[in-house]
């Protein structure tokens, strides 16, 4: 394997420091270590293609590092959201999830799941879904789209139902509680 020339490494490091300063403004929520990792990954990827390559330019390095930092920020937000939903269940229930799912108190479970859903439409669709509603008109009226043509209503209602099922798939804590509320329908989610 060929070695990278020392002057190329020095220039890449120098450019990397400028990129880190710029990324700090774009992603203030990320630590300096995470930003340095994003830049380092971009530099290593650039030189892994061919060690004889010239030093990486600022624009190319910034774009590649920005993508790495964006992915890290996105995954951190998702992790914080998962932890917050779990902590909400733990804080509101003395026994946590086990107590909530062990008791057949459906209204309380429905309220807990609704509290964890991110927007009004998902809460409305969840409430109707748990009640066993099937007609599009019931969902359309609850979502405030009953004035639209029936085919548009059907598309929007199906989209909201799909969003709910996808949300339940991605959040196992909420899916566990929802399975207690309406077990016959949750099997399609798993």
Concatenating the DSSP letter of every residue in 152-190 gives: HHHHHHHHHHHHHHHHHHH-HHHHHHHHHH-HHHHTTT-
Are the C-beta atoms of residues 15 and 61 closer than 8 Å to each other?
A: yes
Residue 83 maps to a domain: no
Residue range 147-169, pLDDT digits in tens: 999 999 999 999 998 888 888 88
Q: Using the predicted structure, report yes or no on whether residue 119 has a pLDDT greater than 80.
A: yes
The predicted model gives 140-144 an average pLDDT of 91
CB 12 within 8 A of CB 47: yes
Q: Do 100 and 67 belong to one domain? A: no
The mean per-residue pLDDT over the stretch 32-46 comes to: 88
Residues 109 and 62 in one domain: no
Q: Are 91 and 115 in contact (CB under 8 A)?
A: no
**For position 190, what pLDDT does the model report?**
47
167 and 105 fall within a common domain: yes
Query: Are 114 and 182 found together in one domain?
Result: yes
28 shares a domain with 106? no
* 119 and 173 fall within a common domain: yes
Task: Mark whether 71 and 12 lie in a shared domain.
Answer: yes
85: in domain? no
Give the residue from 106, 121, 115 showing the smallest Cα distance to 84: 115
Same domain, 67 and 127: no
Taking residues 32-41, report their average pLDDT: 90
Q: What is the pLDDT of residues 6-28, one digit of tens each?
A: 777 778 878 888 999 999 998 88
Query: By residue range, what is the domain housing residue 174?
Result: 93-186
For the record, the structure tokens of 78 come out as: 């998702």
Q: What's the total number of domains in the chain?
A: 2
The token pair that represents 87 in the structure block: 């902590």
Residue that wins the pLDDT comparison between 103 and 122: 122
pLDDT confidence tier of residue 2, bands split at 50, 70 and 90: low
**Do residues 85 and 171 lie in contact, with contact meaning Cβ atoms separated by under 8 Å?**
yes
User: Cβ distance 97 to 57 under 8 Å?
Assistant: no
* CA dist., res. 177 & res. 102, Å (int): 10
**Rounded Cα–Cα distance for residues 132 and 125 (Å):** 11
* Structure tokens belonging to residue 13: 């490091």
Answer yes or no: do 13 and 49 share one domain. Answer: yes
Percent of the chain with pLDDT over 70: 78
Which of 35-39, 85-89, 148-152 has the lowest average pLDDT? 85-89
The per-residue pLDDT for 184 is 55
Q: What is the dihedral of CA 54, 51, 70, 164, to 10 degrees?
A: 140
């Amino acid at each position: 394997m060929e070695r990278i020339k020392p002057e190329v490494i020095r220039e890449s490091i120098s450019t990397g420091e400028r990129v880190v300063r710029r990324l700090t403004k774009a992603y203030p929520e990320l630590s300096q270590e995470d930003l340095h990792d994003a830049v380092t990954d971009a530099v290593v990827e650039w030189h892994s293609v061919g060690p004889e390559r010239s030093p990486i330019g600022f624009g190319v390095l910034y774009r590649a590092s920005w993508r790495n930092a964006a992915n890290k920020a996105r995954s951190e937000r998702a992790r914080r959201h998962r932890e917050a939903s779990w902590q909400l269940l733990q804080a509101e229930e003395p026994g946590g999830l086990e107590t909530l799912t062990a008791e057949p108190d459906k209204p309380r479970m429905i309220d807990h799941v609704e509290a964890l859903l991110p927007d009004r439409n998902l809460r409305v669709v969840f409430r109707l879904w748990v009640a066993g509603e099937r007609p599009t008109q019931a969902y359309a009226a609850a979502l405030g789209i009953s004035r639209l043509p029936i085919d548009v209503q059907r598309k929007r209602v199906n989209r909201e139902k799909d969003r709910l099922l996808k949300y339940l798939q991605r959040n196992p804590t909420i899916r566990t509680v929802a399975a207690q509320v309406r077990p016959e329908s949750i099997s399609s989610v798993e």
